[in-house]
């Protein structure tokens, strides 16, 4: 019975390792999935939405002049999802998707944030901040040089350069949004507008326009006047649609995007056939054919031209990503230098662990100073809190496109993960959890303050401690699995980490999150690093990777465990087994036992030797 919890913990760790590795194998697809009906709703039925273009995944938008209902509707704009052209990844490794409307001069008419998984902006307030950021592009063009300033930037703009207000704590995210908008708009403008701006607008034949329902017409009449005001245009909504035509023969799939076009057309058709309400109900037999839409296009691309555009688009995304992260690294030179110095100091101390821990009082003081450095500099100033989101993002990125370059935008994260990766091989999880995790350090400092005030944390029974240690593995497994089977659940589970609240957002957040962070911190007054030992999914992930460690670095004697239990009883993390064996997956590298190992007052064998030699 005594061994059962230990064996179970062992099994949990290996199960977690397997789940982590398997998550890298599952693939997640990234492509826009709006169909024509969705687009119609999203442009508020102000435009007549044509069929998706055969050569690029964009929809033409037409307007009929209400003053002259017999006139042919005119092509006025294009609308498209950024993810189809530029699956740019932010902090979460998931592409940010925007719905972009450009007019025939390439001006942005409207940009809507469709989807994002940026961890700091998942709540409605955060999403609104990103929407506000994207809305600043209205009136600009893809030809503008966009400068993202601080959140209080005055936002000056002229014909060539525009300053937009950034978002606090969101540099990486807004840069990704900027890149997604400009890359996607450039791709559409290059393919569809002359010199990136169409001057010859061609009318589309009235025979090609789909019918509308009464409800849709009424809705258009309501929304059109508002949008007209917004666009400063005299155009009015379409009053009548006549003579539908389906021209399936002309839907030729000759471009790289033909597969998507087919998929979307098929989806559209199914949606129209199966829907019981909405615009498609009354136009199911009457879609604007791709060929008709093509008539209105100023330019048409052959396969070679399109593939040239595609490859130059890829190159341009890569180049712009590279520019972004080079700029990030340059702008954070000071932080990088301090962090590297801190890591060198830590490495020297850990390599020379016997010397470093020879004097317990000095070691305690130095350790406390380092923990302060971790909380204040690494955490609050440099925003270098590693998080489980880094792991979920990396596994998703590896499974979907095998590219981790999105992380390069955050130099602190990259440097810390490289260091943690190397230290995992040598010392195990303890180097990060014991020294470099700001939230972990904050807990320990709180415990130390409680100790200084005379309050001692309670020590759980070994069996209960072992059972509770399983909880973090269960949380991590649930999180990783839900990433693939129930993503909204994963978003919820990620919030178990109070790092974002306590470190990244300085406790300025909705009260349930603040309450949870305070609970985790308060726990450390009663149980030493209680959150770390029993709840933390990041700690569990690092522990599960413990099999990579090749060195049992804590010095041991034959007497460790039998008969001596000195270290075991003093290890605040309960990481030493009754046999004297170190459980490195639960060890936080505090060096207390290394200090005891050479202490003639606390190490039983040394005390015995001292007595014999006296
Ligand atoms: S267990 Fe979690 S909170 Fe604790 S130090 Fe490790 S990563 Fe940080
Ligand atoms: S005292 Fe415990 S936590 Fe600290 S180094 Fe030793 S085994 Fe690890």
Same domain, 229 and 255: yes
What span, in angstroms and rounded, lies between the C-alpha atoms of 396 and 27?
8
Give helix 462-485 / helix 537-544 axis angle, nearest 10°.
100
- Do the domain assignments include residue 9? yes
Q: Quick one: residue 255, left, alpha or beta (phi over 0 = left, psi -120 to 50 = alpha)?
A: beta
User: What is the chain's Cα-based Rg?
Assistant: 30
Distance 439 CA to ligand 1 centre (A): 7
Same domain, 102 and 17: no
Tell me the pLDDT band of 319, cut-offs 50, 70 and 90: low
Q: In this predicted structure, what is the pLDDT of residue 262?
A: 37
Mean pLDDT of 317-330: 74
Q: In this predicted structure, what is the pLDDT of residue 315?
A: 60
Same domain, 275 and 342: no
**Per-residue pLDDT reduced to its tens digit, 482-531:** 877 887 788 788 889 999 999 988 998 889 999 999 999 999 999 999 99
Q: Which of 379, 431, 437, 544 to mutate to test the pocket of ligand 1 (most atoms within 8 A of CB)?
A: 437
- Do the domain assignments include residue 584? no
Q: Tell me the pLDDT of the chain averaged across its residues.
A: 78
Same domain, 127 and 175: yes
CA distances from 190 to 102, 183, 316 (A): 12, 10, 13
Distance 587 CA to ligand 2 centre (A): 5
| DSSP state letters, 81-97 | EGGGT---B-TTSSBPE
Same domain, 337 and 453: yes
Instruction: Among 550, 569, 592, give the residue marking a domain's end.
Output: 550
Kindly state if the Cβ of 187 falls inside 6 Å of ligand 1: no
User: Where would I find the beta strands (DSSP E) of 364-478?
Assistant: none
Q: Does the pLDDT value for residue 447 go beyond 90?
A: yes
Q: Does the pLDDT value for residue 32 go beyond 80?
A: no
Q: In this predicted structure, what is the pLDDT of residue 90?
A: 76
- Do the domain assignments include residue 30? no
**Per-residue pLDDT reduced to its tens digit, 249-287:** 333 333 333 333 333 333 333 233 333 333 333 333 334
Q: Which ligand is nearest to the CA of 521?
A: 1
Closest residue (by CA) to atom 4 of ligand 2?
590
Same domain, 125 and 208: yes
Q: Does the pLDDT value for residue 373 go beyond 50?
A: yes
Higher pLDDT residue, 486 or 359? 359
What span, in angstroms and rounded, lies between the C-alpha atoms of 113 and 39?
13
What span, in angstroms and rounded, lies between the C-alpha atoms of 466 and 571?
15
Q: Which of 357, 585, 589 to mutate to test the pocket of ligand 2 (most atoms within 8 A of CB)?
A: 589
Mean pLDDT of 226-233: 40
Q: Quick one: residue 163, left, alpha or beta (phi over 0 = left, psi -120 to 50 = alpha)?
A: beta
**276: number of CA atoms within 13 Å, CB side?**
0
Same domain, 135 and 215: yes
- Do the domain assignments include residue 603? no
Instruction: Among 550, 571, 601, give the residue marking a domain's end.
Output: 550
Residues with Cβ within 8 Å of 190's Cβ and at least 6 positions away in sequence, in order, are 196, 309
Mean pLDDT of 283-300: 40
- The residue among 454, 377, 424 whose CA lies nearest residue 541 is 424
- Do the domain assignments include residue 72? yes
Ranges 98-112, 318-332, 384-398, 437-451: which has the least confidence: 318-332
Same domain, 305 and 234: yes
- Do the domain assignments include residue 169? yes
Kindly state if the Cβ of 350 falls inside 6 Å of ligand 2: no
In this prediction the pTM is: 0.69
Same domain, 103 and 182: yes
CA distances from 36 to 79, 115, 269 (A): 11, 18, 10
Q: In this predicted structure, what is the pLDDT of residue 231?
A: 39
Q: Which atom of ligand 1 is nearest to the CA of 437?
A: 8
- The residue among 571, 572, 547 whose CA lies nearest residue 561 is 571
CA distances from 39 to 33, 44, 79, 190, 319 (A): 10, 8, 8, 22, 31
Q: In this predicted structure, what is the pLDDT of residue 167?
A: 87
Q: Does the pLDDT value for residue 179 go beyond 70?
A: yes
Q: In this predicted structure, what is the pLDDT of residue 499?
A: 94
Same domain, 276 and 370: no
Kindly state if the Cβ of 538 falls inside 6 Å of ligand 1: yes
Helices (H), 504-598: 511-526, 530-534, 537-544, 566-570, 592-597
What span, in angstroms and rounded, lies between the C-alpha atoms of 201 and 72?
12
- Do the domain assignments include residue 257? yes
Kindly state if the Cβ of 575 falls inside 6 Å of ligand 2: yes
Q: Is the peptide bond before 563 cis (omega within 30 degrees of 0)?
A: yes
- The residue among 288, 79, 106 whose CA lies nearest residue 204 is 288
Instruction: Among 523, 550, 577, give the residue marking a domain's end.
Output: 550
CB 594, CB 355: distance < 8 Å: no
CB 414, CB 434: distance < 8 Å: no
Residues with Cβ within 8 Å of 215's Cβ and at least 6 positions away in sequence, in order, are none
- The residue among 392, 394, 395, 389 whose CA lies nearest residue 25 is 395
Q: Does the pLDDT value for residue 574 go beyond 80?
A: yes
User: Total structural domains in the chain?
Assistant: 2
- Do the domain assignments include residue 32? no
Kindly state if the Cβ of 208 falls inside 6 Å of ligand 1: no
Kindly state if the Cβ of 137 falls inside 6 Å of ligand 1: no
- Residue 456 burial (10 A CB sphere; 0-12, 13-18, 19+): exposed
Kindly state if the Cβ of 573 falls inside 6 Å of ligand 2: yes
Q: In this predicted structure, what is the pLDDT of residue 289?
A: 40
Same domain, 296 and 347: no
Helices (H), 438-591: 438-452, 462-485, 487-494, 499, 511-526, 530-534, 537-544, 566-570
Q: In this predicted structure, what is the pLDDT of residue 216?
A: 42
Same domain, 442 and 376: yes
Q: In this predicted structure, what is the pLDDT of residue 595?
A: 95
Go through 111-130 and write b for each residue having 16 or more CB atoms within 10 A of its CB, e for each that does not: bbbbebbbbbbbeeebeebb
Q: What angle do CA 550, 556, 560 make, to 5 degrees?
A: 130
Range of the domain at 76: 37-311
């Amino acid at each position: 019975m005594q061994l059962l919890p230990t064996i179970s913990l062992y099994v949990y760790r290996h199960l977690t390792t397997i789940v982590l590795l398997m998550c890298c194998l599952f693939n997640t697809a990234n492509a826009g999935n709006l169909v024509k009906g969705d687009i119609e709703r999203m442009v508020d039925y102000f435009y007549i939405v044509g069929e998706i273009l055969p050569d690029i995944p964009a929809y033409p938008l037409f307007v009929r002049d209400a003053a002259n209902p017999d006139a042919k509707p005119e092509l006025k704009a294009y609308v498209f999802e950024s993810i189809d052209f530029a699956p740019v990844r932010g902090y979460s490794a998931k592409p940010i998707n925007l719905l972009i409307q450009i007019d025939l001069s390439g001006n942005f008419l409207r940009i809507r944030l469709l989807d994002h998984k940026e961890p700091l902006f998942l709540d409605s307030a955060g999403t609104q901040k990103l929407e506000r950021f994207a809305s600043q592009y209205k009136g600009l063009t893809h030809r503008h040089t966009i400068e993202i300033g601080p959140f209080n930037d005055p936002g000056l703009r002229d014909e060539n350069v525009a300053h937009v207000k950034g978002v606090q704590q969101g540099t990486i995210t807004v840069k990704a949004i900027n890149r997604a908008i400009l890359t996607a708009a450039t791709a559409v403008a290059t393919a569809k507008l002359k010199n990136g701006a169409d001057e010859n607008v061609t009318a589309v034949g009235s025979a090609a326009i789909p019918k509308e329902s009464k409800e849709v017409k009424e809705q258009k009449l309501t929304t059109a006047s508002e949008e007209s005001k917004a666009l400063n245009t005299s155009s009015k909504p379409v009053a009548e649609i006549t003579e539908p035509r389906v021209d399936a023969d002309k839907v030729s799939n000759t471009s790289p995007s033909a597969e998507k076009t087919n998929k979307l057309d098929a989806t559209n058709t199914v949606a129209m056939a199966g829907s019981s309400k909405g615009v498609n109900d009354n136009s199911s037999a009457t879609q604007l054919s791709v060929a008709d839409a093509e008539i209105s296009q100023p330019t048409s691309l052959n396969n070679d031209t399109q593939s040239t555009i595609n490859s130059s688009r890829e190159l341009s995304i890569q180049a712009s990503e590279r520019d972004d992260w080079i700029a990030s690294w340059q702008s954070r030179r000071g932080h990088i230098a301090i962090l590297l110095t801190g890591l060198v100091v830590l490495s020297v101390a850990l390599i020379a662990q016997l010397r470093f821990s020879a004097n317990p009082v000095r070691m305690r003081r130095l350790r406390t100073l380092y923990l302060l450095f971790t909380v204040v500099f690494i955490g609050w100033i440099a925003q270098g809190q590693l998080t489980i989101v880094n792991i979920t993002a990396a596994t998703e990125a590896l499974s979907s496109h095998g590219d981790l370059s999105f992380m390069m935008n955050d130099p602190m994260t990259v440097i810390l993960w490289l260091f943690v990766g190397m230290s995992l091989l040598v010392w195990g999880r303890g180097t990060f959890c014991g020294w470099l995790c700001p939230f972990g350090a904050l807990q320990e400092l709180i415990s130390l303050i409680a100790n200084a005030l005379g309050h001692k944390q309670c020590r759980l029974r070994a069996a209960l401690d072992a059972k509770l240690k399983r909880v973090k593995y269960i949380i991590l497994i649930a999180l990783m699995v839900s990433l693939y089977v129930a993503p909204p659940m994963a978003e919820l589970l990620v919030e178990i980490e109070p790092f974002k609240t306590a470190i990244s957002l300085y406790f300025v957040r909705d009260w349930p999150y603040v309450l949870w962070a305070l609970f985790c911190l308060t726990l450390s007054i009663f149980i030493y690093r209680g959150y770390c030992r029993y709840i933390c999914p990041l700690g569990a992930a690092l522990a599960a990777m413990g099999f990579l460690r090749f060195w049992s670095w804590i010095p041991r004697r034959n007497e460790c465990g039998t008969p001596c239990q000195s270290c075991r009883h003093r290890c605040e993390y309960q990481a030493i087994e009754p046999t004297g064996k170190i459980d490195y997956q639960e060890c936080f590298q505090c060096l207390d036992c290394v200090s005891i190992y050479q202490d003639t007052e606390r190490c039983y064998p040394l005390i015995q030797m001292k007595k014999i030699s006296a």
